[in-house]
Amino acid sequence: MTERIRPRIDGAPREALREKLRLLGFDEVRFAAVDGETGDGLRDWLAAGRHGDMAWMERTAEKRAHADLVLPGVRSVIILGVNYWRGSAIENPEPKNKNPRWARYAQHEDYHDTMKPGLEAAGRILEEVVGVLPTDYRFYADTGPVMERGWAARSGLGFRGKNAMLISKQHGNWLLLATILTRLEIAPDEPLRKTALPAAGEPTGLLCGKCTRCLDACPTGAFPAPGVVDARRCISYQTIENKGIIPRELRAGIGTRIFGCDICLEVCPWNRFAQAGRQLLLVARHDLAEQSLPELLALSPTRFAEVFRRTPIKRLKLTGLLRNACVVAGNAGDPSLLPALTALAAHDAAVVRAHAVWAVQRIAGSGSADLLRDARANETDELVLAEYSCGG
């Protein structure tokens, strides 16, 4: 079948398209041209094993490097940004209470779901206004084999910082990204600097200067080099993507962070220019930050479903959240948590028992043996038994 030839979208028609998409609730709309590979160091990162257990990154590596493997004939990428910054102070933030801390994006209903209607409406605009067929585009809200940050940097939406995140002059570190691959040829936006750039965007840290705040602030040493994250040492990876045992040497660094981590984002000086987002495609869940540690340690399956349905935390499942809560409890060092932790040392899931044992030993010290005597007598799992042997 011969592909239909359409004129290049530029000038006033391009700006009209940008405005129509922005009115759907997207805070940023940018365009990039597809030409060449967009591997962006991905192969080296994978070869070094820095993706941990995220096997899908390996399976989709070629598609991420070659957008035409995702959509044959693709010419342009539309990059859409949603600002989730609420406008409160973040310089060296400290919690106002002893409750566990959640990544800022997670204090909303799952953005993959709430952004989807906007993407569907964007597709209808492409069909009705520009005249493309449904087969001429594909959209993803951070779920497809697409190098979102690379394309965003190439479009001038921001630059890739030393924390490996996209940093915007207008929105700081607080953009959620979605992309639309299309066979339309749309005149691309310019990157932040009109110099020769690699295919996926700008050099890492283009506007970071000598600043290394993000690298210095990471409590688990997750940056082997500027712009390179070793997921295996990243708090976000360990508390979300890792479904098994969190390495003992990383647990103390997790502190009170129960789901995700914003440290390398929060300390970035570019955030001083960030304005609050419109939040049109987001649904805030302010109640999550009010969940106390005792409440989380006592979660039942029914209560977990009630509180966390429609949020990103649902991906973690109850066992994952209880595991993380045990780590936070161990770091909190509060003896009043020992009854709940001792009960979790007899939980059905070995991954919960292991971290509960660690937390009890960390808080109770030499007194943990008496507290854990019954659970230890019935334990058969090797990973849990290893926690008993390490002694906190």
Phi, psi of 319 (to 5 degrees): -60, -40
Sequence-distant (≥ 6) Cβ neighbours of residue 170 within 8 angstroms: 28, 273, 274, 275
CB 76 within 8 A of CB 184: yes
Taking CA atoms, 114 is separated from 25, 176, 283, in Å, by 11, 12, 7
Check if 381 is active-site.
Answer: no
DSSP 36: S
Residue 1: burial class (beta carbons within 10 Å; 0-12, 13-18, 19+):
exposed
Q: What angle do CA 309, 140, 36 make, to 5 degrees?
A: 150
From the list 142, 216, 374, 381, the catalytic residue is 142
- Within its chain, how far is the Cα of 287 from the centroid? 20
Coil, helix or strand at residue 29:
strand
Scanning the structure block, which residue is given the tokens 């069909």? 127
Residue 295: burial class (beta carbons within 10 Å; 0-12, 13-18, 19+):
middle
Q: Is the dihedral of CA 66, 72, 74, 79 positive or negative?
A: negative
Tokens at residue 12, please?
């006033």
User: Can you list the positions of beta strands (E) in 144-298?
Assistant: 159-160, 166-167, 175-182, 257-259
Distance CA 127, CA 134 (A): 7
Instruction: Write out the catalytic residue numbers.
Output: 142
